[in-house]
Homo-oligomer: A and B are copies of this chain.
């Protein structure tokens, strides 16, 4: 059996579910998972399907082209189709913090992440030994405001060279350039160490401490042009109290950052996220 994942996004319309499910049935496909969402205000429709096809006479490209002609064109669908085994290629951007890096590499080595970590890119050389320990190619790409264009070019070259599908910023402390964002629209995942939209920008734990909050958080989101303003994929929180120092906030926050980023990466790699209107639809 061949298992595929279909993502559909279109204007809401009559009989859309029956039309799509009929199509699958007509191709002798068996739906094993279907989730859909209608945003009534925006009048948009989203669907995620997992289907099984008998492998006899199976041809993915034929299916895609048929799908486009028979279904997508008439209904004006935006769509993506993936085979189950297809692992997206990921690039990790890091600076000096190593806790998210260790966590991702540990999970990756344990076989928890359905993806391939193709390359680690950093604006510092500090974390190179960790990359080596896990046998992942590491590239040092200096990046500052002054050499932005040079840095961006090197990044883009590496992303091309390693045929990268999506990028994860694991506490990467530099701005991502508009060109990179445009090229990897909805494919760059950042972890911000606050409960957005509270405390965007620099030093959120310090701001949270000063404000005297009783709960801190972390937020994973797709990167857009606005700082920490992209579509949120996942958030989580931890309780704090007056006994906790800023150092405690940071330490508790590290656990949040690890977990929230790992969940977002997994959801993205499993093709469970869809973006619209600066929000995400996340099919669990």
Contact = CB atoms under 8 A, between A and B. Distances in A.
Interface of A: 14-15, 17-18, 21-22, 24-25, 30-40, 98-99, 102-103, 105-107, 109-110, 112, 130, 133-134, 195-199, 211-215, 217, 231-237, 241-243, 245, 251, 254-255, 259, 262, 277-282, 284
A277 to B, nearest CB: 8
Contacts of A237: 215, 237
25 contacts: A14-B30, A15-B21, A15-B25, A17-B31, A32-B40, A33-B38, A35-B35, A37-B243, A40-B245, A98-B109, A99-B112, A102-B107, A102-B109, A109-B130, A133-B133, A133-B134, A195-B215, A196-B198, A197-B199, A211-B232, A212-B278, A212-B280, A242-B280, A242-B282, A255-B259
Contact of A215 (B22, B213, B235, B245): B235
A232 B24 CA distance: 35
Copies in the complex: 4
Contact of A99 (B30, B99, B106): B106
Contacts of A24: 18
Contacts of A14: 25, 30
Contacts of A255: 259, 262
